[in-house]
A and B are shown apart, each in its own frame.
Chain A
Amino acid sequence: MRPPRRIPLAIRVAVFTILAGLSLGMTAQASHAQATSTLPKSWTGAVAKLADEAAAAMSPTVVRLDVENTSSLDVAHVGLIGAALREQLQRHSFAFGSANSTATQSPLQLLLTLSESNTEYVWVMEVVNDSGDAASIPMMMVSVSKSALTEAEPGEQSLSLEKRFVWKQRERFLDFALLKDSSSGQILLLILKTKSLDIYKPSGPGWQLSRSTPIPQMAALPRDSEGTIGLKEGKIWFKGFECVGDPDLTGVVQCKISPPNHLIVDRTRIPGLPNSLGTLVYGECRGETISVYSGEGDWTQTDFLQGYLISLNPFLAVAVGDAIQVRGPVISLQSERDTSAARAVVHNLTTGEYEAYIVTATCGN
Chain B
Amino acid sequence: MLRRHAVISALLIVGFAAVPARSARRPRYGGTLRVEMGASVASLDPDVTAATPEEAAAKSQIDSLIFDQRNADGNFAGAAGSGAFRVTAFEAGKRAVLAANEEFREGRPFVDAVEIGMGRGAHERLVDLELSKTDLTEIAPQDARRAAEQGVRVSISQPDELLALVFAPVTTRPNTAVAASANLSGQALSLAIDRVAIVNFILQKTGEAAGGLLPQWSSGTAFLFPAAAAPTAADLTHAKELWKEIAPSGALVLGYDSADPLEQSVAERIVVNAKEAGMAVRAQAISGAGAGAEKSRGVAGQATRVDLQMVRWRMTSPLPGDALKDFLARIYAGPLAGVEVAAFPATASPEDIYQQQRAVLNTYRVVPLVWLPQVYGLSARVRDWKAPGPGENWPLADVWLDAETPTPTGIQ
Binding site for B on A (CB under 8 A): 4-5, 7, 10-12, 14-15, 18-19, 70-71, 113, 115-122, 124, 139, 141, 143, 194, 220-225, 228, 262-270, 273-280, 284, 287-289, 291, 293, 296-300, 310-313, 315, 329, 332-334
**17 interchain pairs, CB-CB under 8 A:** A15-B9, A117-B219, A117-B350, A119-B320, A120-B350, A141-B354, A143-B220, A221-B107, A224-B26, A224-B27, A263-B19, A267-B17, A288-B5, A293-B21, A300-B384, A300-B386, A329-B25
Tell me whether B108 is interfacial, beta carbon within 8 Å.
Answer: yes
Q: Which of B27, B107, B218 has the most CB of A within 10 A?
A: B107
Could you tell me if A298 and B318 are in contact, using CB atoms closer than 8 angstroms? Answer: no
Tell me whether B110 is interfacial, beta carbon within 8 Å.
Answer: yes
Tell me whether B398 is interfacial, beta carbon within 8 Å.
Answer: yes
A residues in contact with B320, CB < 8 Å: 117-119
A residues in contact with B354, CB < 8 Å: 141
When the two chains form the complex, which single residue of B4, B19, B29, B104 contacts A265, counting CB atoms closer than 8 Å? B19
Interface residues on B, range: 35 or more
Could you tell me if A225 and B107 are in contact, using CB atoms closer than 8 angstroms? Answer: yes
Question: A-B contact count, CB below 8 Å?
Answer: 184
**A70 closest partner in B (C-beta):** B223
Could you tell me if B108 and A222 are in contact, using CB atoms closer than 8 angstroms? Answer: yes
B residues in contact with A269, CB < 8 Å: 16, 23
Could you tell me if B108 and A15 are in contact, using CB atoms closer than 8 angstroms? Answer: no
B residues in contact with A120, CB < 8 Å: 220, 350
Q: Please give 12 more A-B residue pairs, beta carbons under 8 A apart, in addition to A276-B25, A299-B25.
A: A5-B7, A117-B320, A117-B350, A122-B350, A124-B221, A265-B22, A267-B17, A275-B21, A276-B23, A278-B17, A287-B1, A297-B25
Could you tell me if A220 and B103 are in contact, using CB atoms closer than 8 angstroms? Answer: yes
Could you tell me if B8 and A312 are in contact, using CB atoms closer than 8 angstroms? Answer: yes
B residues in contact with A11, CB < 8 Å: 7, 10-11, 14
A residues in contact with B47, CB < 8 Å: none
Min Cβ gap A188→B in Å is 23
Whether A14 contacts B350 in the complex (CB less than 8 A), given A220-B103, A287-B4, A310-B8, comes out as no
Q: Cα distance A225–B29 when bound, in Å? A: 13
Tell me whether B216 is interfacial, beta carbon within 8 Å.
Answer: yes
B residues in contact with A334, CB < 8 Å: 20
Tell me whether B18 is interfacial, beta carbon within 8 Å.
Answer: yes
**A12 closest partner in B (C-beta):** B10
Could you tell me if A223 and B27 are in contact, using CB atoms closer than 8 angstroms? Answer: yes
Could you tell me if A4 and B3 are in contact, using CB atoms closer than 8 angstroms? Answer: yes
Q: Cα distance A287–B220 when bound, in Å? A: 49
